[in-house]
Amino acid sequence: MSIRAVLAPLLIVLSLAVALVGCGTSSTTEPSSVPPVTVTVTAPPSSSAPSTSESATPRTTALTTGFTRAQASAGQPVGVVVVPVGGGEAVELGDQTPRVAWSTIKVPLAIAAQRANGQSSAQTTAIINSDNASAEQLWSSLGSAGQASAAVTAVLRDGGDTSTVVPAQRLRPGYTVFGQTVWTLAAAGTFTAQLPCMRGTEHVVSLMGQVAANQQWGVETMATPKATAVKGGWGPGASSGYVVRQIGLITYRDGRMASIVMSTAGSSLDSGIAALNVIGRWLNRNLVQLPRGRCS
């Protein structure tokens, strides 16, 4: 047999092997464009560590990671929403469970009363001292319970909150009608971000910048912004525990602003304030990551 006859089959086998390698399913070539990826960051199932979902932008990913550690230090669930003033994409972190507004609803109440009757001493003490008797005076000045409910709800709509409805009847004995308004953090954040941009709100915002010691926590612990303005609210949970929440505005050194709203539910008022202080200080350290804007 000739050498050519022996080598011919071997050459055919080698050619087939090379062809198969060239058609393999693995490839080292990357596509020219990669579609955007959404990352869901989920905390372990626990009553003290609710799950959080964030778009995988560098800002939200960094904030989500840092917030998880800060919330662990706070010792109880905390929810935060940050919205640039004038509107824009919100940053939502932590526990977004809908809860009643307590005294944070005194802000739209005071605005409604001022629009109807002008500025008053009751407006001042309702915001600065969170005085319930003064807030009840503002509520009564708006007419019947139904008229008062409609007036305060109208202020919320003016601030971009399209869903919250202030009740017209007492839902819980011993507590104010308006204080039992269910106000989600997202809706409260939207409203607070429009607060400096709404007509006739300058006086109420200035009062929020002068609150008494009983509200100087949470956002008020943030030392880096040029200025802060807040309104706190607190009270027992529907079945157990204690709810502490706050709406606030921060003015950055460049003049732009953001709304920050936060809420927590724990064993007591003191534990709630301590938890919001931890988050307030964490927000201050991450100020550069937070959104900001201006009224248009």
The whole-model pTM stands at 0.81
CA 157 to chain centre: 18
- The Cα 216–Cα 117 span in angstroms is 29
> Could you tell me where the beta strands, DSSP code E, fall in the chain?
40-41, 52-53, 78-84, 91-94, 227-236, 242-251, 257-266
- The Cα 99–Cα 96 span in angstroms is 9
Question: Which amino acid belongs to residue 26?
Answer: S
pLDDT in tens, 149-197: 999 999 999 999 999 999 999 999 999 999 999 999 999 999 999 999 9
pLDDT in tens, 30-86: 233 322 222 223 233 333 333 333 334 666 778 999 999 999 999 999 999 999 999
Lowest model confidence (mean pLDDT) among 16-25, 271-280, 286-295: 16-25
Residue 49 DSSP SS3 = coil
Class of the domain covering 55-289? alpha beta
For the chain, the domains span 55-289
Decide if 79 contacts 97 (C-beta within 8 A). yes
Position 238 confidence tier, pLDDT thresholds 50, 70, 90: confident
